[in-house]
Amino acid sequence: MANKVIITCAVTGSIHTPSMSPHLPVTAQEIADAAVGAAEAGAAIVHLHARDPKDGRPDQSPEAFEPILKSIKQRTGAVLNITTGGAATMTIEQRVKPAATFKPEVASLNMGSMNFGLFPMLARFKDFKHDWERPYLEASRERIFKNTFADIEYILTTCAENGTRFEIECYDIGHLYTLAHFADRGVVKPPFFVQSVFGILGGIGTHAEDVMHMKRTADRLFGSNYRWSVLGAGRNQMPIAAIAAAMGGNVRVGLEDSLWLGKGRFAESNAAQVKQVRGIVEGLGLEIATPDEARATLELKGGDRVNF
């Protein structure tokens, strides 16, 4: 099973606003359907945000997540991963609430405060359907995505008794050292599921050397105590996935990270991106992991021990 690649699919999120693509799922039913489609295409893990069905605004209330989680669980055995990132405009208490409530097998965890520049999208998208979207992107010129040491520890300790494994999102090299700090203190336990994020303005770049630098640093810090995955933002999604898969890593795709399937071509579904990256993985002579194989690799508690 060592050479089997875990595909994570992030089916919706707070990075992109609904007006940017007609294919971005917004309602609970659309998000659940997208997650099931991604799982059927080969995603072992689905990463979830929720939205207000009226205008697509990010919604981190447990009430927004509950119908999504229950619908997906009834229809697929995929691992469900709940965000604690939410949106940069939310408090840390708001962000952790769904993971604390539903006790998932996996939850995401951002490993450092950073500039998170979404405003370049304004040059590519001119018309917005909802009045919150343009100001939300514009404000990222001066907004900091806050993830202090106290914030990170708050999430880890709030979920400490849940048996949840964290998808630890590292947008730069320093974030790996922050993880090492919490690991050395025993606040977070191995195996660490490190999701290296490339191509967000304010984080590490997308050059192959950046990918290798992230991997070399994680190898030095964590040795055999971690499992590595990558996501590339926007048009970098598939090239970064190909580099990492060739290096023995796991991959994440999905409309949260990129709206595209090729140059100037919207992905019509999350499943389409999963199928595309699956083709890359299998073209390298590798196999994709099933949900249960992903559970074994990441040492997850199992879908029967969640609170939904």
**How high is the pLDDT of residue 2?**
56
Region of residue 199 (phi > 0: left; psi between -120 and 50: alpha; otherwise: beta): left
Kindly state the percentage of the chain with pLDDT values over 70. 99
Do 87 and 14 form a contact (C-beta atoms < 8 A)?
Answer: yes
Alpha carbon distance 76, 79 (integer Å) = 9
- 81 torsion bin: left (phi>0), alpha (psi -120 to 50), beta (else): beta
Q: Would you say 209 and 171 are in contact if contact means Cβ atoms under 8 Å apart?
A: no
Radius of gyration of the chain (CA): 17
> Per-residue confidence at 1, pLDDT binned at 50, 70, 90?
very low
pLDDT tens digit sequence for 29-43 = 999 999 999 999 999
d(CA 119, CA 104): 32
pLDDT at 177: 98
Average pLDDT, the chain: 97
CB 12 within 8 A of CB 256: yes
Q: Which stretch of 2-6, 120-124, 176-180 has the lowest confidence by average pLDDT?
A: 2-6
In the chain, the percentage of residues whose pLDDT exceeds 90 is 98
Span 218-238, mean pLDDT?
A: 98
Q: Give all strands (DSSP E) within 199-263, no chain letters.
A: 226-232, 250-253, 260-262
pLDDT(183) > 80: yes
What domains are there in the chain, each with its CATH number? 4-301 (3.20.20.70)
Q: At what angle do helices 62-75 and 92-102 cross, to 10 degrees?
A: 40
Question: In 3D, which of 196, 219, 212, 229 has the Cα closest to residue 44?
Answer: 229
Compute the distance between CA of residue 161 and CA of residue 190 in angstroms, rounded to an integer. Answer: 15
Residue 283's contacts (CB-CB under 8 Å, 6 or more residues apart) are none
